[in-house]
Amino acid sequence: MEVEAQVFSEDPLSGNRIKTSTAFLTFVALAKEGRPTPISPLIPETEEKKGRYPAALRRRRRRLREAKETGAKR
């Protein structure tokens, strides 16, 4: 599962907020033995989430390809 996190700084006097960074956090389901295990896919339901889904799939494919190329353990 991928979750987008946005970080903002806020001026306490004016209340003005500025986005300082965005990160995508990846979570993996683990079996009792502590190894990754498949789960049912998440189905995007809203139009916004349906529109964002292809980009998330591209990021996942890139992460998996980079892990394979560098020999990183998943």
Contact in structure between 56 and 2 (CB atoms under 8 Å): yes
What tens digit of pLDDT does each residue of 54-69 get?
A: 898 899 899 889 988 9
Structure-token pair, residue 65: 């390809």
Rounded to two decimals, the pTM is 0.62
pLDDT (tens digit per residue) in 3-53: 999 999 999 999 999 999 999 998 999 999 999 999 998 888 999 988 888
Please list, in sequence order, all residues whose beta carbon lies within 8 angstroms of the beta carbon of residue 7, skipping any fewer than 6 positions away: 19, 20, 21, 22, 23
Q: How far apart are CA 63 and CA 67, in angstroms?
A: 6
